[in-house]
Structure 1
Amino acid sequence: MPYSGQCACGSVRLEITGEPIATRQCWCRQCQQIATGGPTNNAIFRADDVSISGELAHNAWPAASGNTLTFHFCPSCGTQIFGQSSARLHLKTVRFGALDAGHGLKPEVVIWTDDAPAWAVIDPALESWPQQPPAPPTN
């Protein structure tokens, strides 16, 4: 099923032609900072499947994994669109909030649980990783 989305102000649009190779909820400190204290919820797509129109701003910093993470967002409204790791430039990690309502995706894995605050509610039915999990398979 193709996916589409946009930022809160409509300046940035997404069209995604493939299915996600993974869906994850991330509790790393960087994600908590960009998500105002909670986790980010993400769908990982092949970069070639994701088309974006509109202007994006970005910021990058070194992650606890040792990779450089670059976060792309709408410069007008600040909506997070996707993140990308220097170790996996063939993938784009799209924020659930940037996808149109009704996308039907949900996290399958919770990562960086060691960084989650004590009050975090983590679904025990989901696979979880205390830190960085192995890269998702791309085939």
Structure 2
Amino acid sequence: MEYPIKASCQCGQVSYQLTVPPQRVIACYCQECQKLSTSPFSITAVVARSAIEFTGEMKQWSRIAESGNENRAKFCPQCGTRIYHYNPQTPELIKLKLKPVGASVDTSFAPSLHIFISETPSWYQLPQGITAYKKGEGAPK
């Protein structure tokens, strides 16, 4: 896979260029991520802020997570696509929500860790052989 790679929101107003592979890709099954993705889980690519360049206007929304940490979300004000999340206490790491399109990037954005699996809907079957943690279990950072 060759970097940089590019992606955009649904309307194209916000885009990014990522210069290196994600540090980690996580599938989160918590109820907040289910709301965000309207699916059983949400995919998050953890990347260094210094490895990504954004273009376009973004708006911000925030909430307090169960952990007590603030979770800030950046999104496109035109189409509403969530772009990334970050904790203001660790602004050097962002949790990218946009997945680049194309067969060559699929493996770079495949989840290597599944968290909050205890909140998985009963009708969803988790993949076999995954590294997974239930709610409250300490996943590696």
TM-score bracket, normalised by the shorter chain, equals 0.7 to 0.9
Matches within 5 A, 1:70-85: 70-85=72-87
What's the TM-score once normalised by structure 1's chain length? Answer: 0.87
Deviations 1:14-58 (A, max 9, x none): 011111110110111211111114311121110111111101112
Q: Secondary structure at the match of 2:33?
A: helix
Structure 1 letter corresponding to 2:130 = L
**Alpha-carbon distance between aligned partners in 2 of 1:63 and 1:48, rounded to the nearest angstrom:** 25
The CA distance in 1 between the partners of 2:128 and 2:91, in whole Å, is 31
Residues 110 and 122 of structure 1 are in contact (CA less than 8 Å); yes or no, is this contact kept in structure 2? Answer: no
User: Aligned pairs, how many?
Assistant: 134
**Per the alignment, in what secondary structure is the counterpart of residue 81 of structure 1?**
strand
**Contact conserved, 1:23 with 1:108, CA < 8 A, in 2?**
yes
Deviations 1:35-90 (A, max 9, x none): 11431112111011111110111211011222111111111111111111244321
1:12 maps to 2:18: no
Report the structure number with the largest CA radius of gyration: 2
Instruction: Report the Cα distance in structure 2 between the residues aligned to 1:67 and 1:107, rounded to whole angstroms.
Output: 23
Cα RMSD (Å): 1.6
Q: What is residue 106 of structure 1 aligned with on the other side?
A: 110
The answer to whether residue 127 in structure 2 is matched with residue 126 in structure 1 is no
Q: Where in structure 2 are there 5+ consecutive unaligned residues?
A: none
Displacement of 1:113 after TM fit? 1.1
Matched-pair contact (CA < 8 Å) for 2:7–2:98:
no
Give the 3-state SS of the residue equivalent to 2:79 in structure 1. Answer: coil
**Deviation (angstroms), 1:8:** 0.6
- 1:1-139 residue pairs with structure 2 within 5 A? 1-97=3-99, 99-102=100-103, 103-104=105-106, 105-131=109-135, 133-135=139-141
Matched to 1:122, the amino acid is L
CA distance in 1, matches of 2:127, 2:28: 13
Q: Tell me which amino acid in the other structure corresponds to 1:74.
A: C
Q: TM-score, normalised by structure 2?
A: 0.85
Corresponding letter in the other structure for 1:134: P
Distance 2:9 2:65 in 1: 25
Taking the aligned partners of 1:121 and 1:79, their CA distance within structure 2 comes to 27
